[in-house]
Structure 1
Amino acid sequence: MFTGIIENTGVIKEVQSNGTNKIFWVASSLSGELKIDQSLSHSGVCLTVEEIKNGMHRVTAIEETLLKTNLAAWQQGSIVNLERCMQLNGRLDGHIVQGHVDASAECIAVIEKGGSWEYSFTFPEKFSALIIEKGSITLNGISLTLFNVGTNSFSVAVIPYTYEYTNINGLQKGDGVNVEFDMLGKYVQRMLQQKAII
Protein backbone atom coordinates (compact mmCIF):
# COMPACT_ATOMS: atom_id res chain seq x y z
CA MET A 1 0.00 0.00 0.00
CA PHE A 2 1.07 3.56 -0.77
CA THR A 3 -0.26 7.07 -0.11
CA GLY A 4 0.42 8.89 -3.37
CA ILE A 5 2.90 11.24 -1.69
CA ILE A 6 6.06 11.06 -3.81
CA GLU A 7 9.31 10.73 -1.85
CA ASN A 8 11.76 11.26 -4.66
CA THR A 9 12.32 10.91 -8.38
CA GLY A 10 14.62 8.49 -10.13
CA VAL A 11 16.30 8.38 -13.53
CA ILE A 12 16.14 5.36 -15.83
CA LYS A 13 19.78 4.49 -16.50
CA GLU A 14 19.36 1.31 -18.51
CA VAL A 15 16.54 -0.62 -20.18
CA GLN A 16 16.92 -4.30 -21.09
CA SER A 17 14.55 -6.77 -22.71
CA ASN A 18 14.05 -10.32 -21.49
CA GLY A 19 11.45 -12.09 -23.60
CA THR A 20 8.23 -10.09 -23.21
CA ASN A 21 9.55 -8.42 -20.04
CA LYS A 22 11.49 -5.21 -19.63
CA ILE A 23 14.18 -4.67 -17.01
CA PHE A 24 14.86 -1.18 -15.69
CA TRP A 25 17.86 0.11 -13.76
CA VAL A 26 16.80 3.19 -11.78
CA ALA A 27 19.20 5.62 -10.11
CA SER A 28 17.95 7.64 -7.14
CA SER A 29 18.95 8.82 -3.70
CA LEU A 30 16.50 6.23 -2.32
CA SER A 31 18.12 3.28 -4.08
CA GLY A 32 20.79 2.74 -1.44
CA GLU A 33 18.14 2.62 1.32
CA LEU A 34 16.08 -0.09 -0.33
CA LYS A 35 16.06 -3.83 0.37
CA ILE A 36 15.79 -6.76 -2.01
CA ASP A 37 12.16 -7.93 -2.45
CA GLN A 38 10.83 -4.55 -1.30
CA SER A 39 7.77 -3.07 -3.01
CA LEU A 40 8.34 0.35 -4.52
CA SER A 41 5.96 2.53 -6.50
CA HIS A 42 7.44 3.70 -9.82
CA SER A 43 5.18 6.42 -11.26
CA GLY A 44 2.22 4.63 -9.71
CA VAL A 45 3.26 1.07 -10.60
CA CYS A 46 4.19 -1.26 -7.75
CA LEU A 47 7.39 -3.10 -8.72
CA THR A 48 9.65 -5.41 -6.70
CA VAL A 49 13.27 -4.41 -6.06
CA GLU A 50 15.42 -7.26 -7.40
CA GLU A 51 18.97 -5.93 -7.14
CA ILE A 52 20.76 -2.90 -5.70
CA LYS A 53 24.19 -1.61 -6.71
CA ASN A 54 26.11 1.61 -7.36
CA GLY A 55 23.28 3.89 -6.28
CA MET A 56 20.78 2.09 -8.53
CA HIS A 57 18.10 -0.56 -8.16
CA ARG A 58 16.72 -3.05 -10.70
CA VAL A 59 13.06 -3.88 -11.32
CA THR A 60 11.23 -5.95 -13.94
CA ALA A 61 7.93 -5.15 -15.65
CA ILE A 62 6.07 -8.11 -17.14
CA GLU A 63 4.00 -7.98 -20.33
CA GLU A 64 0.71 -7.36 -18.48
CA THR A 65 2.21 -4.31 -16.77
CA LEU A 66 3.70 -3.00 -20.01
CA LEU A 67 0.31 -3.28 -21.76
CA LYS A 68 -1.64 -1.41 -19.06
CA THR A 69 0.82 1.34 -18.15
CA ASN A 70 3.21 3.81 -19.78
CA LEU A 71 6.28 1.77 -18.77
CA ALA A 72 6.76 0.49 -22.32
CA ALA A 73 7.65 4.08 -23.29
CA TRP A 74 10.32 4.44 -20.59
CA GLN A 75 13.81 4.87 -21.96
CA GLN A 76 17.22 5.91 -20.75
CA GLY A 77 16.87 9.33 -19.13
CA SER A 78 13.17 9.03 -18.28
CA ILE A 79 12.23 10.50 -14.89
CA VAL A 80 10.02 8.38 -12.62
CA ASN A 81 8.24 9.16 -9.36
CA LEU A 82 9.22 6.94 -6.42
CA GLU A 83 7.39 6.10 -3.20
CA ARG A 84 8.14 3.40 -0.65
CA CYS A 85 5.20 1.51 0.86
CA MET A 86 3.46 3.24 3.73
CA GLN A 87 4.13 2.40 7.36
CA LEU A 88 1.16 1.53 9.56
CA ASN A 89 2.37 3.93 12.25
CA GLY A 90 2.59 6.85 9.81
CA ARG A 91 0.12 9.49 8.66
CA LEU A 92 -1.95 8.93 5.54
CA ASP A 93 -1.22 12.28 3.89
CA GLY A 94 -2.63 11.35 0.48
CA HIS A 95 -5.12 8.49 0.08
CA ILE A 96 -4.96 4.70 -0.02
CA VAL A 97 -3.10 3.66 -3.18
CA GLN A 98 -2.38 0.07 -4.21
CA GLY A 99 0.13 0.65 -6.98
CA HIS A 100 -2.14 -1.23 -9.40
CA VAL A 101 -2.74 0.88 -12.49
CA ASP A 102 -6.28 0.73 -13.87
CA ALA A 103 -5.87 2.66 -17.11
CA SER A 104 -3.97 5.33 -18.99
CA ALA A 105 -5.16 8.90 -19.42
CA GLU A 106 -4.03 11.39 -22.04
CA CYS A 107 -3.08 14.94 -21.12
CA ILE A 108 -5.15 17.34 -23.24
CA ALA A 109 -4.18 20.67 -21.66
CA VAL A 110 -1.61 22.25 -19.36
CA ILE A 111 -2.38 25.73 -18.03
CA GLU A 112 0.01 27.77 -15.87
CA LYS A 113 -2.15 29.64 -13.34
CA GLY A 114 0.38 32.10 -11.89
CA GLY A 115 1.71 29.94 -9.07
CA SER A 116 -0.04 26.65 -9.74
CA TRP A 117 -0.73 24.43 -12.75
CA GLU A 118 -3.94 22.95 -14.11
CA TYR A 119 -3.78 19.67 -16.04
CA SER A 120 -6.71 18.21 -17.95
CA PHE A 121 -7.03 14.62 -19.15
CA THR A 122 -9.23 12.26 -21.11
CA PHE A 123 -9.66 8.64 -20.10
CA PRO A 124 -11.75 5.58 -21.13
CA GLU A 125 -15.41 6.34 -20.46
CA LYS A 126 -16.02 2.87 -18.99
CA PHE A 127 -14.28 4.12 -15.81
CA SER A 128 -16.48 7.23 -15.46
CA ALA A 129 -18.34 5.89 -12.41
CA LEU A 130 -15.05 5.80 -10.47
CA ILE A 131 -14.43 9.56 -10.39
CA ILE A 132 -16.31 12.24 -8.51
CA GLU A 133 -15.91 15.99 -8.09
CA LYS A 134 -13.33 16.67 -5.33
CA GLY A 135 -12.54 12.96 -5.14
CA SER A 136 -9.07 11.40 -5.14
CA ILE A 137 -7.14 10.00 -8.07
CA THR A 138 -3.57 8.80 -8.56
CA LEU A 139 -1.67 10.03 -11.64
CA ASN A 140 1.85 8.65 -12.15
CA GLY A 141 1.75 7.74 -8.47
CA ILE A 142 0.74 11.23 -7.30
CA SER A 143 -2.33 11.63 -5.09
CA LEU A 144 -4.39 14.48 -6.57
CA THR A 145 -7.88 15.96 -6.22
CA LEU A 146 -10.33 15.90 -9.12
CA PHE A 147 -12.42 18.76 -10.49
CA ASN A 148 -14.24 19.57 -13.75
CA VAL A 149 -15.25 15.91 -13.80
CA GLY A 150 -16.95 14.73 -17.00
CA THR A 151 -17.87 11.35 -18.43
CA ASN A 152 -14.43 10.88 -19.96
CA SER A 153 -12.41 13.87 -18.75
CA PHE A 154 -11.23 15.57 -15.60
CA SER A 155 -8.80 18.18 -14.34
CA VAL A 156 -6.38 18.38 -11.42
CA ALA A 157 -4.53 21.30 -9.85
CA VAL A 158 -0.84 21.00 -8.97
CA ILE A 159 0.85 23.09 -6.29
CA PRO A 160 4.43 24.37 -6.72
CA TYR A 161 5.97 21.75 -4.40
CA THR A 162 4.44 18.84 -6.32
CA TYR A 163 5.37 20.47 -9.61
CA GLU A 164 9.00 20.85 -8.57
CA TYR A 165 9.55 17.48 -6.92
CA THR A 166 7.72 15.05 -9.24
CA ASN A 167 7.84 14.23 -12.92
CA ILE A 168 4.60 16.07 -13.61
CA ASN A 169 6.67 19.13 -14.54
CA GLY A 170 7.71 17.32 -17.72
CA LEU A 171 4.17 16.37 -18.71
CA GLN A 172 2.98 17.87 -22.00
CA LYS A 173 -0.18 17.80 -24.06
CA GLY A 174 -0.52 14.39 -25.70
CA ASP A 175 1.48 12.53 -23.03
CA GLY A 176 0.01 9.52 -21.26
CA VAL A 177 -0.10 8.98 -17.50
CA ASN A 178 -0.74 5.95 -15.30
CA VAL A 179 -4.10 6.15 -13.54
CA GLU A 180 -5.25 4.38 -10.41
CA PHE A 181 -8.82 5.15 -9.38
CA ASP A 182 -9.84 5.39 -5.73
CA MET A 183 -10.02 1.89 -4.26
CA LEU A 184 -13.12 2.70 -2.21
CA GLY A 185 -14.94 3.71 -5.36
CA LYS A 186 -13.98 0.43 -7.02
CA TYR A 187 -15.38 -1.59 -4.11
CA VAL A 188 -18.64 0.37 -4.13
CA GLN A 189 -19.00 -0.15 -7.88
CA ARG A 190 -18.36 -3.88 -7.48
CA MET A 191 -20.97 -4.21 -4.72
CA LEU A 192 -23.56 -2.38 -6.79
CA GLN A 193 -22.84 -4.58 -9.79
CA GLN A 194 -23.22 -7.74 -7.69
CA LYS A 195 -26.44 -6.44 -6.13
CA ALA A 196 -27.88 -5.80 -9.59
CA ILE A 197 -27.21 -9.43 -10.56
CA ILE A 198 -28.99 -10.92 -7.53
Structure 2
Amino acid sequence: MFTGLIQDIGKVVQVEGQSRGLTLKISTNLDLTSLKVGDSIAVDGVCLTIVELAGQSFLVEVSPETRQRTTLAKVKAGQEVNLERPLRMSDPLGGHFVAGHVDGTGEILAIIPEGKSWRYYFRTSPEISKYLIPKGSVAIDGISLTIGDCQGEEFSVVVIPHTAAQTTLGKKKVGDQVNLEVDLLAKYIEKFLHRQEVIKPRPSKIDENFLAEHGYIK
Protein backbone atom coordinates (compact mmCIF):
# COMPACT_ATOMS: atom_id res chain seq x y z
CA MET A 1 0.00 0.00 0.00
CA PHE A 2 1.18 3.50 -0.88
CA THR A 3 0.02 7.10 -0.45
CA GLY A 4 0.79 8.69 -3.81
CA LEU A 5 3.45 11.00 -2.35
CA ILE A 6 6.54 10.52 -4.52
CA GLN A 7 9.77 10.17 -2.52
CA ASP A 8 12.34 10.22 -5.31
CA ILE A 9 12.82 10.36 -9.06
CA GLY A 10 14.81 7.28 -9.98
CA LYS A 11 16.52 6.42 -13.25
CA VAL A 12 16.19 3.19 -15.20
CA VAL A 13 19.75 2.09 -15.91
CA GLN A 14 19.07 -1.29 -17.47
CA VAL A 15 16.16 -3.07 -19.17
CA GLU A 16 16.21 -6.79 -19.92
CA GLY A 17 13.47 -8.88 -21.53
CA GLN A 18 12.38 -12.09 -19.86
CA SER A 19 9.61 -14.33 -21.28
CA ARG A 20 7.63 -11.32 -22.48
CA GLY A 21 8.18 -9.74 -19.05
CA LEU A 22 10.95 -7.36 -18.04
CA THR A 23 13.68 -6.96 -15.47
CA LEU A 24 14.50 -3.35 -14.61
CA LYS A 25 17.52 -2.00 -12.78
CA ILE A 26 16.78 1.36 -11.22
CA SER A 27 19.13 3.77 -9.45
CA THR A 28 17.82 6.01 -6.69
CA ASN A 29 18.78 8.43 -3.93
CA LEU A 30 16.36 6.72 -1.53
CA ASP A 31 17.70 5.15 1.63
CA LEU A 32 17.48 1.48 0.66
CA THR A 33 18.75 0.17 4.00
CA SER A 34 15.16 -0.14 5.23
CA LEU A 35 14.26 -2.34 2.25
CA LYS A 36 15.08 -5.97 1.55
CA VAL A 37 14.61 -8.46 -1.26
CA GLY A 38 10.93 -9.32 -1.47
CA ASP A 39 9.69 -5.89 -0.42
CA SER A 40 7.41 -3.82 -2.64
CA ILE A 41 8.18 -0.49 -4.25
CA ALA A 42 6.04 1.69 -6.51
CA VAL A 43 7.62 2.54 -9.88
CA ASP A 44 5.52 5.12 -11.76
CA GLY A 45 2.60 3.94 -9.64
CA VAL A 46 3.15 0.23 -10.38
CA CYS A 47 3.66 -1.99 -7.33
CA LEU A 48 6.69 -4.18 -8.06
CA THR A 49 8.74 -6.62 -5.99
CA ILE A 50 12.43 -6.00 -5.34
CA VAL A 51 14.41 -9.06 -6.42
CA GLU A 52 17.90 -7.68 -5.85
CA LEU A 53 19.59 -4.80 -4.05
CA ALA A 54 22.98 -3.43 -5.08
CA GLY A 55 24.23 -0.22 -3.46
CA GLN A 56 21.95 2.59 -4.57
CA SER A 57 20.24 0.44 -7.20
CA PHE A 58 17.61 -2.27 -7.12
CA LEU A 59 16.13 -4.78 -9.55
CA VAL A 60 12.44 -5.42 -10.08
CA GLU A 61 10.59 -7.81 -12.38
CA VAL A 62 7.63 -6.77 -14.51
CA SER A 63 5.16 -9.54 -15.38
CA PRO A 64 3.67 -9.84 -18.89
CA GLU A 65 0.26 -8.70 -17.59
CA THR A 66 1.71 -5.63 -15.86
CA ARG A 67 3.75 -4.82 -18.94
CA GLN A 68 0.65 -4.97 -21.11
CA ARG A 69 -1.50 -2.86 -18.76
CA THR A 70 0.99 -0.07 -17.94
CA THR A 71 3.43 2.34 -19.52
CA LEU A 72 6.30 0.07 -18.43
CA ALA A 73 5.74 -1.73 -21.75
CA LYS A 74 7.75 1.06 -23.38
CA VAL A 75 10.25 1.80 -20.61
CA LYS A 76 13.81 2.54 -21.78
CA ALA A 77 17.22 2.82 -20.15
CA GLY A 78 17.85 6.40 -19.07
CA GLN A 79 14.17 7.07 -18.40
CA GLU A 80 13.20 8.76 -15.12
CA VAL A 81 10.51 7.15 -12.96
CA ASN A 82 8.60 8.13 -9.83
CA LEU A 83 9.46 6.05 -6.76
CA GLU A 84 7.66 5.48 -3.47
CA ARG A 85 8.45 3.02 -0.71
CA PRO A 86 5.53 1.09 0.83
CA LEU A 87 3.47 2.72 3.56
CA ARG A 88 4.29 1.77 7.15
CA MET A 89 1.81 1.93 10.03
CA SER A 90 3.76 4.82 11.58
CA ASP A 91 3.81 6.89 8.38
CA PRO A 92 1.49 9.87 7.88
CA LEU A 93 -1.14 9.47 5.16
CA GLY A 94 -0.74 12.68 3.20
CA GLY A 95 -2.25 11.57 -0.13
CA HIS A 96 -4.80 8.78 -0.51
CA PHE A 97 -4.62 4.99 -0.39
CA VAL A 98 -2.87 3.78 -3.55
CA ALA A 99 -2.57 0.03 -4.09
CA GLY A 100 -0.10 0.16 -6.94
CA HIS A 101 -2.44 -1.93 -9.08
CA VAL A 102 -2.69 0.26 -12.17
CA ASP A 103 -6.09 0.19 -13.88
CA GLY A 104 -4.84 1.35 -17.27
CA THR A 105 -3.28 4.28 -19.03
CA GLY A 106 -4.26 7.75 -20.15
CA GLU A 107 -2.98 10.26 -22.68
CA ILE A 108 -2.06 13.88 -21.99
CA LEU A 109 -4.25 16.06 -24.22
CA ALA A 110 -3.12 19.52 -23.12
CA ILE A 111 -1.01 21.34 -20.54
CA ILE A 112 -2.25 24.86 -19.83
CA PRO A 113 -0.59 27.37 -17.45
CA GLU A 114 -2.93 28.42 -14.64
CA GLY A 115 -1.34 31.07 -12.44
CA LYS A 116 1.86 29.53 -11.07
CA SER A 117 0.47 26.04 -11.67
CA TRP A 118 -0.56 24.01 -14.72
CA ARG A 119 -3.79 22.27 -15.63
CA TYR A 120 -3.22 18.90 -17.29
CA TYR A 121 -5.98 17.41 -19.44
CA PHE A 122 -6.15 13.63 -19.97
CA ARG A 123 -8.16 11.16 -21.99
CA THR A 124 -8.66 7.59 -20.81
CA SER A 125 -10.95 4.60 -21.41
CA PRO A 126 -14.63 4.37 -20.36
CA GLU A 127 -13.65 1.54 -17.99
CA ILE A 128 -11.56 4.03 -16.00
CA SER A 129 -13.44 7.31 -16.54
CA LYS A 130 -16.62 5.91 -14.96
CA TYR A 131 -14.86 5.96 -11.58
CA LEU A 132 -13.70 9.59 -11.83
CA ILE A 133 -15.61 12.40 -10.14
CA PRO A 134 -14.81 16.10 -9.55
CA LYS A 135 -12.79 16.55 -6.33
CA GLY A 136 -12.14 12.81 -6.21
CA SER A 137 -8.69 11.23 -6.10
CA VAL A 138 -6.67 9.61 -8.86
CA ALA A 139 -3.09 8.33 -9.00
CA ILE A 140 -1.22 9.48 -12.12
CA ASP A 141 2.14 7.73 -12.51
CA GLY A 142 1.84 7.06 -8.78
CA ILE A 143 1.15 10.71 -7.86
CA SER A 144 -1.91 11.37 -5.70
CA LEU A 145 -3.86 14.17 -7.39
CA THR A 146 -7.30 15.76 -7.07
CA ILE A 147 -9.57 15.61 -10.09
CA GLY A 148 -10.82 18.93 -11.40
CA ASP A 149 -13.24 18.64 -14.30
CA CYS A 150 -14.68 15.41 -15.72
CA GLN A 151 -16.49 15.10 -19.01
CA GLY A 152 -16.95 11.77 -20.76
CA GLU A 153 -13.58 10.10 -21.06
CA GLU A 154 -11.63 13.30 -20.35
CA PHE A 155 -10.60 14.84 -17.03
CA SER A 156 -8.18 17.41 -15.68
CA VAL A 157 -5.95 17.95 -12.64
CA VAL A 158 -4.01 20.98 -11.43
CA VAL A 159 -0.30 20.42 -10.86
CA ILE A 160 1.40 22.83 -8.48
CA PRO A 161 5.09 23.83 -8.95
CA HIS A 162 6.27 21.57 -6.09
CA THR A 163 4.65 18.49 -7.65
CA ALA A 164 6.00 19.38 -11.09
CA ALA A 165 9.52 19.72 -9.70
CA GLN A 166 9.50 16.67 -7.43
CA THR A 167 7.97 14.19 -9.90
CA THR A 168 8.32 13.27 -13.56
CA LEU A 169 5.01 14.98 -14.35
CA GLY A 170 6.75 18.32 -14.80
CA LYS A 171 8.72 16.88 -17.74
CA LYS A 172 5.75 15.27 -19.50
CA LYS A 173 4.44 16.64 -22.77
CA VAL A 174 1.25 16.44 -24.81
CA GLY A 175 0.77 12.95 -26.24
CA ASP A 176 2.65 11.16 -23.46
CA GLN A 177 1.03 8.15 -21.82
CA VAL A 178 0.64 7.88 -18.03
CA ASN A 179 -0.42 5.16 -15.61
CA LEU A 180 -3.79 5.63 -13.92
CA GLU A 181 -5.19 4.07 -10.77
CA VAL A 182 -8.65 5.09 -9.62
CA ASP A 183 -9.72 5.39 -6.01
CA LEU A 184 -10.19 1.97 -4.39
CA LEU A 185 -13.34 3.16 -2.63
CA ALA A 186 -15.04 3.88 -5.96
CA LYS A 187 -14.55 0.27 -7.08
CA TYR A 188 -15.76 -1.16 -3.78
CA ILE A 189 -18.89 1.00 -3.88
CA GLU A 190 -19.65 -0.10 -7.45
CA LYS A 191 -19.25 -3.75 -6.43
CA PHE A 192 -21.55 -3.28 -3.44
CA LEU A 193 -24.24 -1.55 -5.48
CA HIS A 194 -24.02 -4.24 -8.17
CA ARG A 195 -24.57 -6.95 -5.55
CA GLN A 196 -27.56 -5.03 -4.20
CA GLU A 197 -29.10 -5.10 -7.67
CA VAL A 198 -28.40 -8.79 -8.19
CA ILE A 199 -29.65 -9.88 -4.77
CA LYS A 200 -33.16 -8.49 -4.92
CA PRO A 201 -35.21 -8.65 -1.70
CA ARG A 202 -37.77 -11.45 -1.65
CA PRO A 203 -41.40 -10.48 -1.09
CA SER A 204 -42.53 -11.17 2.46
CA LYS A 205 -44.92 -14.08 3.04
CA ILE A 206 -46.42 -12.26 5.99
CA ASP A 207 -49.50 -10.43 4.78
CA GLU A 208 -52.99 -9.78 6.06
CA ASN A 209 -54.24 -13.27 5.11
CA PHE A 210 -51.28 -14.94 6.84
CA LEU A 211 -51.91 -13.00 10.05
CA ALA A 212 -55.63 -13.84 9.96
CA GLU A 213 -54.99 -17.55 9.38
CA HIS A 214 -52.70 -17.71 12.41
CA GLY A 215 -55.03 -15.81 14.70
CA TYR A 216 -53.08 -12.57 14.97
CA ILE A 217 -55.94 -10.50 13.56
CA LYS A 218 -59.65 -11.01 13.12
Does TM, normalized by the shorter one, top 0.5? yes
- Report the alpha carbon displacement of residue 126 of structure 1 after superposing the two structures with TM: 2.6
Distance 1:150 1:86 in 2: 33
Greater Rg by CA: 2
Matched, 1:47 2:48: yes
Q: What is the match of residue 159 of structure 2? A: 158
Higher relative contact order (CA 8 A, sep 6+): 1
What is the total number of aligned residue pairs between the two structures?
Answer: 198
Please give the alpha-carbon distance, in whole angstroms, between the structure 1 residues aligned to 2:156 and 2:195.
30
Match of 2:151, SS?
Answer: coil
Q: Report the RMSD for the aligned CA atoms in angstroms.
A: 1.1
Q: Secondary structure at the match of 2:116?
A: coil
The letter for the 1-side match of 2:26 is: V
Alignment of 1:47-196 (within 5 A): 47-196=48-197
TM-score of the aligned structures, taking structure 1 as reference length: 0.96
CA distance in 2, matches of 1:117, 1:86: 28
Match of 1:26 in 2: 26
Q: How big is the shift at 1:31?
A: 6.1
Structure 2 residue runs without a partner (length 5+): 200-218
1:69 positional shift: 0.3
- What amino acid sits opposite 2:180 in the alignment? V
Using structure 2 for the length normalisation, give the TM-score. Answer: 0.88
Q: Deviations over 1:113-134 (max 9, x none)?
A: 2411110001111333311110
Q: Which runs of at least 4 in structure 1 moved beyond 4 Å after TM superposition?
A: none
Alpha-carbon shift at residue 147 of structure 1 (Å): 0.9
SS at match of 1:80: strand
Deviations 1:121-171 (A, max 9, x none): 011113333111100000000000001111211000111111001000121
Aligned-residue sequence identity (percent) comes to 37
